[in-house]
Structure formats: structure tokens, C-alpha cells
Amino acid sequence: MPFDHNDHYHRLLLSRLPAGGRTALDVGCGTGRFARRLVAHGYRVDALDP
């Protein structure tokens, strides 16, 4: 299986989210892949891709 740099980076970001945070802004979300992961972790996400 090829290395998925997005998956690696997403896991790193998720592990470093501050405790108690429940909202996120994903600017440049593209397909929304990371925004969906945040939602799965209980975040309310506003996502936009200019």
C-alpha cells in the first residue's frame, strides 16, 4: 500500500487538538476529507475552499 501523506498528517493534527475544542474552521478544505474526520471526532466544522 502506498504511503498516504494526508492520512499521516491528519492523524498528527487530530492528536494535537486542544482539549475542550469543539469548533473548527477548515480553510482550503478541498474535498472535505479532513473536515469529515473532525466531524467524526465531534467537532462542528465550517469548511470552505476559495
Of the listed ranges 1-5, 15-19, 34-38, the least confidently predicted one is 1-5
Q: Is 39 within the bounds of a domain?
A: yes
Distance from C-alpha of 5 to C-alpha of 33, rounded to nearest angstrom: 13
Q: Is 36 within the bounds of a domain?
A: yes
Within 10 angstroms of residue 16's Cβ, the number of other Cβ atoms is: 7
Confidence band of 31 (pLDDT split at 50, 70, 90): very high
Look at residues 20, 5, 18 and name the one whose alpha carbon lies nearest to residue 34: 5
Amino acid at 26: D
Is the confidence at residue 1, as pLDDT, over 80?
no
CA atoms within 13 A on the CB side of 33: 10
Domain tally for the chain?
Answer: 1
Distance from C-alpha of 18 to C-alpha of 12, rounded to nearest angstrom: 13
pTM, rounded to two decimals = 0.83
Q: Show the domain range for 27.
A: 22-49
